[in-house]
Amino acid sequence: MRFIALALGALFLFGSIASAKDKDSRPYQGPIIDVHLHAYPADGNGPAPNAVCPGVAANLEYDPQTPWPAKMGALMTDPPCDDPILGPATDEEVRDETIAIMKKYNIKGVLSGPAARIADWQAAAPGLFIAGRELSLKRDDVSAAEIEAEFENGAFEVLAEVTNQYRGFLADDPAFDAYWAVAAEHDIPVGLHLGIGPPGAPMLYPDFRVQTPLRIEAILNRHQTLRVYLMHAGFPFADDLKAMLYLYPQLYVDTGVLQLAAPREDYYAFLEEIVRAGFGDRIMFGSDQMNWPGMIEEGIEAINDAPFLTYEQKKDILHDNAVRFFRLEE
């Protein structure tokens, strides 16, 4: 009888531990902060409507005799997967479908894009969007002093997305020094595009250059109170990213576009490495939905389905870390 009692006790204890573990990995269903949204037109990535396949970028079959833009266009016109993420046909549908998904999942987000388009989206959904200010050297004829004046006049709250990488500028290029100084002086959070871009990026943007998270070190060292989040988490440079997160606790990352750009196994391996290194409190959810509102839902599901994340880690990524970084009052 004693043996049976001990065995039953062990089974009960094992069952309790398993149950607690199952409960701890349940999906997070509370409010969400999406730190990487765009007020994109429907044709922002080619003629509308179009569609994309999650993870397809790593399995492209390409012969250079075909111009790359034509190949990309064909992939979005006739996506090679069974369940592509569809893009709407009109600008209004992009806005309204994005807003509908945000309301469904109780999401607030940082929205970048042209000022008039941001104002339109904010008017359509009061309280859902934090205004971002996109910026790219060479493309945008705006000085650091003008950016400072815009911020002081309340035109934006976050300097994002900064896409200098597409024009051949590295994060520590002296041409952007004055803008970093303005952000540091006024405590403006900055979202910086870093890592890789779309597949075939140099054939779409000839000046595009890959850069690792190490490229932001000189800036963070010079401005040690500057809040920066690396968009796309500097993917795929996990080792460089871990070094930077370790040395600079004010540095955060977002998960934008990784639910699309990488096969799910590769995305998970990258994310797990960052979490395992102890930096789960510096990862923020970003969808980078562009003209495909379904990217938001795809991104949330990718976090909630990650087998290595606990409930608390999912909550941190989908909500709490962004509240801390942006100093939001929830």
Does residue 17 lie in a domain region? no
What are the φ and ψ backbone dihedral angles of 307, each rounded to 5 degrees?
-70, -20
Q: What is the mean pLDDT of residues 181-200?
A: 96
Q: pLDDT category, 101, cuts 50, 70, 90?
A: very high
Does residue 15 lie in a domain region? no
Beta 159-162 vs 190-193: how paired, if at all?
A: parallel
Statement: residue 96 has pLDDT above 80: yes
Q: What is the mean pLDDT of residues 159-186?
A: 97
Does residue 19 lie in a domain region? no
Does residue 23 lie in a domain region? no
What is the rounded CA–CA span in Å between residue 74 and residue 71?
A: 5
The predicted-structure confidence for 19-62, as pLDDT tens digits, reads as follows 444 558 899 999 999 999 999 999 999 999 999 999 877 678 88
* Residue range(s) defining the domain that contains residue 217: 30-326
Burial class (CB in 10 A: 0-12, 13-18, 19+), 210: middle
Task: Taking the CA atoms of 148, 153, 158 and 160 in sequence, report the sign of the dihedral they define.
Answer: negative
What is the rounded CA–CA span in Å between residue 233 and residue 324?
A: 18
Report percent pLDDT > 90 for the chain: 86
Does residue 208 lie in a domain region? yes
Q: What is the mean pLDDT of residues 91-97?
A: 98
The predicted-structure confidence for 218-257, as pLDDT tens digits, reads as follows 999 999 999 999 999 999 999 999 999 999 999 999 999 9
The pair of three-digit structure tokens given for residue 214, joined into one six-digit string: 């190490």
Q: Which residues of 282-299 are buried (b: 16+ CB within 10 A; e: fewer)?
A: bbbbbbbbbbbbbbbbbb
- Within 10 angstroms of residue 166's Cβ, the number of other Cβ atoms is 20
Total domains, the chain = 1
Statement: residue 80 has pLDDT above 50: yes
Does residue 3 lie in a domain region? no
Q: How many residues does the chain have?
A: 330
Does residue 44 lie in a domain region? yes
The pLDDT value given to residue 57: 72
What is the rounded CA–CA span in Å between residue 299 and residue 170?
A: 28
The pLDDT value given to residue 60: 84
- Identify which has the larger pLDDT, 3 or 128: 128
Burial class (CB in 10 A: 0-12, 13-18, 19+), 155: middle
Orientation angle between helical segments 238-247 and 264-276, nearest 10 degrees = 30
What is the rounded CA–CA span in Å between residue 89 and residue 251?
A: 37
Q: What CATH code is carried by the domain that includes residue 321?
A: 3.20.20.140
The predicted-structure confidence for 149-161, as pLDDT tens digits, reads as follows 999 999 999 999 9
The pLDDT value given to residue 25: 84
The pLDDT value given to residue 8: 45
